[in-house]
Amino acid sequence: MTSFVRRTLLATTVLASATAGITAAHAEDAAPAAATSASAAADEQDNPTSVGTGAHDRGGDIVVTARRRQESSQEVPLAISVVGGEHIDSTGSFNVGRLQQLTPTLQYYSSNPRNTAVNIRGLGVPFGLTNDGIEQGVGIYVDDVYNSRVASATFDFLDVAQIEVLRGPQGTLYGKNTTAGAINITTNQPTFDFEGKAEVSIGNYNFKQAKAAISGPLSDTLAARLAVSSTSRRGTIYNVTSNQWIQSQDNLGLRGQLLWKPTGTVEVTLAGDFSTQDANCCGSVYVRTGTTQRALNRQFEALAAALGYEPVSRNPFDRLTDLDTPLRAKNKVGGASVRVKWDVGPGTLTSITAWRFWDWDPSNDRDFTGLPIVSKSQNPSQQDQYTQELRYNYSSDRIDFVVGAFGFYQRIDTQGTEEHGSASSRWNISPSNSLSNDPTALDGLVAYNSQYLKNTSAALYGQLSWHITPELTLQPGVRLNYDKKEGFYQRRVFDAAGNEILLGGDSTPLKTAQLAIFTPQEISPTFSDWNFSYDFTASYKVAPDVLLYATYAKSFKSGGINQNGVPMASDNMTPLYDVATVKPESVHHYEAGIKTQFWDRRVTFNLSIFRTDIKNYQANVNNGQFGVLRGYLANAGAVRSQGVEADFSVRPSERFNAYVNGAYTDAKYRKFVDAPCPPELSGGTTAVGGQTPDAPGTPGGISPANCDISGQRLPGVSEWSFSFGAEVNTPTKLLGKEGEVYFGYDGSVRSNFSSNPSPSAYTWIDGYSLHNFRAGFRTQSGFDVYGWVRNAFDENYFEQLMVGPGNTGLIAGLPGDPRTWGFTIKSNF
C-alpha cells in the first residue's frame, strides 16, 4: 500500500510540476505583475541569508514567534537561527539531521530513530541509548505543539514555512524540556486565496522525493490546506549476509489543516498529520579494534579467530557489513490538534489542544558482527501524549506580556525481547570454563522486558517586556512546574526449553553463566517534584539597527527514573533501588549579545557569548556487558558549556547573497568522579583495597571501578564549527521564460569530537567538512529547475562510533553519506 501511494504521489507530482511550470510561463508572459503577494513574501522570508542570523532581504524583516508573538528576529534579545522553507528545500535539509549542517551549534546523532539525540551547544539529552524516563532538553515544537519524543526529529519536514532554532534555556515560555534550547517549526497555513506547489527530485542511489501542497477556500469563512511528502533512497551500506542495501530511506508523510474564521476576532485551526518510516535500517560497519583490559584470549581478535570469523571488511568506507540479525526500523508518528485564537480586548487568547502518538517497531543487531551472538534485539514501544496550553498575549507601547498554563500527560508502553545465539557461549564465557565450548549453554537464552511510563506535568508561566524607554527594555519571566513520573520495569529470563530462570535457589555453573547474561528484575520507580524557573533579560537599542542584550536564566530539567532497569548489588540478587531515580538538573545560564544591521540593512552581523553551568547533569552510563541492562542514568556532579557564536550575512543586491556562521563551544564535565570507564580501562579485574589500576589497554590488567573524567569534553561537541554559503544569479530568458540562472554553494566544517560518554582514544571522530553545490533556472512565478550535488568532494566521515558490548575492544560506526547528486523541478501555482 505504501509503495502504491508513493508511486501515485510521484507521478502526480511530476505531472503537477510540469503543468504548473507551463501554466506559470503563460501567466508570466500574459501578466508578469500577477505574482501574488503571498509568494513575494515567501521569497523574502526564504532568502538563504536567513540562515543563522535572522537576516533579511533589504527592507523586509524575518518574522519569528520565538516569544510567542510575531516580531522581527533582530528585535528578539536571544540567540536565534532562522532557516526559511525554500532554503531547507534547496539545500536538501529535509530533516533535523540535515539541518545541523546549516546551524553550527545544533548537534544531531542517531543510530536509529529511537536512539536519537538532538543537542544545542553540547547540551540536551545524554549521549547513548535512549531512556524514556527523562526529558530531552531540546524542545521540538511544530505549530505550537510540543513533540515529547526526539524520534519525531527523524522524519521529513512537511510543508515547512520556516524553522527557528532558539539557543540557550527557554524555560519560561517553552518549559522544563528546553534547558539547552528549542526548535520551533512553523508550517504553511491554509489560505483564502487558491495556491499550490509541487516538487520532484531524483538522484543517485535511486533517490526519489516528491512533495506537494494545495491550499484554498472552501467557503467565505473556511479554508483548507493539504500537504504530502515522500522520500525513498537505496541504502549506502551493503549487507553481504542478507544481500541487501541497508541505511535506506523510506518516508511518507501527510498533513491536513482546516482554518475557520467565523468572525474577524476568532480563528480556529484543526490540524492532523501522519508520517511513517519503513526503511531497511539501522546497521553499522566494522571500524577498528582497541586493546582493553580483558584477558587477551577474550578480546575481539582472539574470540573472532576462535570462532573462525573475519569481518567482511576492515575498511569502514568500503561500506560493507555482515550483520546477521534482520534489521527493522518501522516508525509511525502522528496526531491532531486544535488551535483557537480569540482577540479579547487589547490582547489575544490562544488555546492549543493536541494529541500525538508514536509507534516504534525495531529489530537490531546489537553485537555489531556477523556472528550469532545476539540473535534478537528488539524493544517495540507505543506512546500517546496529550497536551493543553492556554495563553494570553498583550502588546502596547510600554508593556508586552504573555501569561499561560500548560498541561501534559504521556504514557509509553514497551515490550522488549533480547535473545542470544549459538556463538554467545564462546564469546561471553571464559575459556577456562568448559561451558564456553558448549554452544547450547547460551543458545536460545531469552529475556522478555515489559515496561510502562506515566508522565504527568503542569505549569504556570509568564513573561513581561517593559519598555522603560523606546531604547531600553527589561524582560523578566517566571515558570512554576510540577512533574510526576510513575514507571514499571520487569525482566523475565527463560532458557531455550522455555524454563524460567529465577534468582536464588540452587546455583549450577550453567545457571551462573546464564544469569551473567540476563538477570531477572522488577522495579517500580517513581518521581515527583515542584520546580521554579525564572529569567531576566535587559536589552538596549544603541541605534535603530543595533541591539545589545544580556540574559540570566535559572532553569531546570525535570528529574527522572531509570526506565530500562538498574544495576544489581554485588550479590547479583538485589536491584540498587537508590539509583532508580535521577535528580533534576539545576541550570544557571549567562548570555550577552549584539545584533546589528548596516549598509542600509544589506549586512547583518550578530554576536553572542554564553556560559551554562549545570549541577546534577543527567548522564548516560553504558554497561559493558550484554547482561543486566543496556544503560542507565546517573547524575554527574557538574557540567559547563561556554563559548562564542557569530552570524554574518550580506546581500548587496538582488544578484548576490552570502552568509557565514561560526561557533566556538567549550563543553566539559566540570565534575564527574564516578563515570563509566572508557573501553581501554575496562574489562579487567576490578581494583579493590587500594590496588593500583594498570595502564590503559593492559590485557588481563586491573581496571578501576569507575573513572574520574572531570575536565574532559562532553560527547558529540566540536570545539569549532562553521557553516557558510553564497548564491549568485543573473537574469536571462530560457525556453521563452523570463527568469534567472543561479549558482549556489553551502558548506560546513567541524573539528573533532568524542563519540562516547567517557572520552576514549578509540572513539574520537576526526573533524570533517562537507560541500554542496546547486545550479539552476527559476522564474519569478515560482518555477524552478536545478541540479545539485551534496558532499561534492566525497568526504569520508563518521556520524557516530559505538563501543561493542562485552569489553572486547570492538568499535563499530555509522559512516556519513557519500557524494550524492540529482535534479529537482518544482513550481508554485
Neighbours of 461 (CB within 10 A): 23
For residue 394, give the C-alpha cell: 498583550
Q: What is the mean pLDDT of residues 148-164?
A: 84
* Contact of 666 with 702, CB cutoff 8 Å: no
Task: Please state, in angstroms and rounded to a whole number, the distance separating the CA atoms of residues 482 and 477.
Answer: 17
How many angstroms from the chain centroid is the CA of residue 132? Answer: 15
pTM (predicted TM-score): 0.89
Under the banding of pLDDT at 50, 70 and 90, the label for residue 650 is very high
pLDDT in tens, 586-595: 999 999 999 9
* Contact of 461 with 392, CB cutoff 8 Å: no
For the domain made up of 2-522+531-828, the CATH class stated in words is mainly beta
pLDDT for position 15: 41
Given a cut of 60, whether residue 718 has pLDDT beyond it is yes
Neighbours of 164 (CB within 10 A): 22
**Strand 237-239 versus strand 320-321 pairing type:** parallel
* Contact of 548 with 542, CB cutoff 8 Å: yes
Please give the torsion angle defined by the CA atoms of residues 171, 172, 173 and 176, in that order, rounded to the nearest 10 degrees: 30
Q: What is the mean pLDDT of residues 618-642?
A: 73
Q: Choose among 374, 247, 231: nearest CA to 319.
A: 247
Task: Please state, in angstroms and rounded to a whole number, the distance separating the CA atoms of residues 373 and 67.
Answer: 52
Beta bridge partners, 725, equal 659, 746
Task: Please state, in angstroms and rounded to a whole number, the distance separating the CA atoms of residues 562 and 210.
Answer: 41
Task: Output b/e per residue, 593-623; b: 16+ Cβ within 10 A.
Answer: bebbbeeebbbbbbebbbebbbbbbbbbbbb
Q: For 67, which DSSP code?
A: T
Task: Please state, in angstroms and rounded to a whole number, the distance separating the CA atoms of residues 92 and 109.
Answer: 18
Residue 495: its H or E element: none
Given a cut of 50, whether residue 16 has pLDDT beyond it is no
Neighbours of 664 (CB within 10 A): 18
Q: What is the mean pLDDT of residues 407-433?
A: 94
Q: In the chain, what percentage of residues exceed pLDDT 90?
A: 71
Task: Please state, in angstroms and rounded to a whole number, the distance separating the CA atoms of residues 545 and 542.
Answer: 8
Give me the phi and psi of 162, to 5 degrees please.
Answer: -165, 165
pLDDT in tens, 747-784: 999 999 999 989 999 999 999 999 999 999 999 888 99
The angle formed by the CA atoms of residues 558, 562 and 565, to the nearest 5 degrees, is 175
The answer to whether the Cα torsion of 157, 158, 162, 167 is positive or negative is negative
Given a cut of 90, whether residue 189 has pLDDT beyond it is yes
Given a cut of 80, whether residue 627 has pLDDT beyond it is no
Q: If DSSP states are collapsed to H, E and C, what string results for 702-740?
A: EECCCECCCCCECCCCCCEEEEEEEEEEEEEEECCEEEE
Q: What is the DSSP string of 456-475?
A: EEEEEEEEEEEESSSSEEEE
pLDDT in tens, 157-182: 889 999 999 999 998 998 877 899 99
The answer to whether the Cα torsion of 625, 631, 633, 637 is positive or negative is positive
The angle formed by the CA atoms of residues 592, 596 and 598, to the nearest 5 degrees, is 165
Under the banding of pLDDT at 50, 70 and 90, the label for residue 724 is very high
Under the banding of pLDDT at 50, 70 and 90, the label for residue 8 is very low
Task: Please state, in angstroms and rounded to a whole number, the distance separating the CA atoms of residues 94 and 669.
Answer: 33
Task: Please state, in angstroms and rounded to a whole number, the distance separating the CA atoms of residues 631 and 562.
Answer: 9
Task: Please state, in angstroms and rounded to a whole number, the distance separating the CA atoms of residues 173 and 66.
Answer: 9
Counted residue by residue, the chain has a size of 829
Q: What is the mean pLDDT of residues 643-657?
A: 96
> What amino acid is encoded at 587 in this protein?
V
pLDDT for position 23: 41
Residue 753: its H or E element: strand 753-754
pLDDT in tens, 315-366: 999 999 999 999 999 999 999 999 999 999 889 999 999 999 999 999 999 9
* Contact of 612 with 123, CB cutoff 8 Å: yes
pLDDT in tens, 662-674: 999 999 999 999 8
Given a cut of 60, whether residue 559 has pLDDT beyond it is yes
Higher pLDDT, 757 or 554: 554
For residue 581, give the C-alpha cell: 531515580
Residue 11: its H or E element: helix 2-30
pLDDT for position 38: 35
E strand spans, 345-445: 347-363, 374-378, 381-395, 399-420
Given a cut of 90, whether residue 110 has pLDDT beyond it is no
Q: What is the mean pLDDT of residues 95-104?
A: 82
For residue 480, give the C-alpha cell: 512554576
Collapsing DSSP states into helix, strand and coil, what is residue 325?
A: coil
* Contact of 356 with 326, CB cutoff 8 Å: no
> What amino acid is encoded at 121 in this protein?
R
pLDDT for position 643: 97
Given a cut of 60, whether residue 375 has pLDDT beyond it is yes
Given a cut of 60, whether residue 41 has pLDDT beyond it is no
Q: In the chain, what percentage of residues exceed pLDDT 70?
A: 91
* Contact of 486 with 453, CB cutoff 8 Å: yes
Given a cut of 80, whether residue 601 has pLDDT beyond it is yes
* HSE of 588, CA atoms in CB hemisphere, 13 A: 6
pLDDT for position 29: 38
Given a cut of 60, whether residue 708 has pLDDT beyond it is yes
Under the banding of pLDDT at 50, 70 and 90, the label for residue 3 is low
Q: Which residues have a Cβ under 8 Å from the Cβ of 285 and sit 6 or more positions away?
A: 237, 313, 316, 318, 319, 320, 321, 812, 813, 814, 815
The mean pLDDT value of the chain amounts to 88
Under the banding of pLDDT at 50, 70 and 90, the label for residue 576 is confident
Please give the torsion angle defined by the CA atoms of residues 828, 726, 96 and 237, in that order, rounded to the nearest 10 degrees: 100
Please give the torsion angle defined by the CA atoms of residues 30, 36, 39 and 41, in that order, rounded to the nearest 10 degrees: 130
Collapsing DSSP states into helix, strand and coil, what is residue 402?
A: strand
What are the residue ranges spanned by the domains of the chain?
Answer: 2-522+531-828
pLDDT in tens, 126-140: 766 677 888 888 999
Q: What is the mean pLDDT of residues 683-703?
A: 91
pLDDT for position 100: 83
pLDDT for position 129: 62
Q: Choose among 274, 279, 199: nearest CA to 232.
A: 279
* Contact of 818 with 792, CB cutoff 8 Å: no
For residue 54, give the C-alpha cell: 535572522
**Number of helical H runs and strand E runs in the chain:** 8, 46
Task: Please state, in angstroms and rounded to a whole number, the distance separating the CA atoms of residues 210 and 254.
Answer: 12
Q: Choose among 211, 213, 212, 215: nearest CA to 195.
A: 215
Task: Please state, in angstroms and rounded to a whole number, the distance separating the CA atoms of residues 242 and 518.
Answer: 28
* Contact of 297 with 431, CB cutoff 8 Å: yes
* Contact of 189 with 108, CB cutoff 8 Å: no
* Contact of 50 with 595, CB cutoff 8 Å: no
For residue 499, give the C-alpha cell: 524454563
Given a cut of 80, whether residue 27 has pLDDT beyond it is no
pLDDT for position 90: 81
pLDDT in tens, 277-320: 999 999 999 999 999 999 999 999 999 999 999 999 999 999 99
Beta bridge partners, 557, equal 585
pLDDT in tens, 519-538: 999 999 999 999 999 999 99
Higher pLDDT, 94 or 399: 399
Task: Please state, in angstroms and rounded to a whole number, the distance separating the CA atoms of residues 300 and 288.
Answer: 10
How many angstroms from the chain centroid is the CA of residue 581? Answer: 24
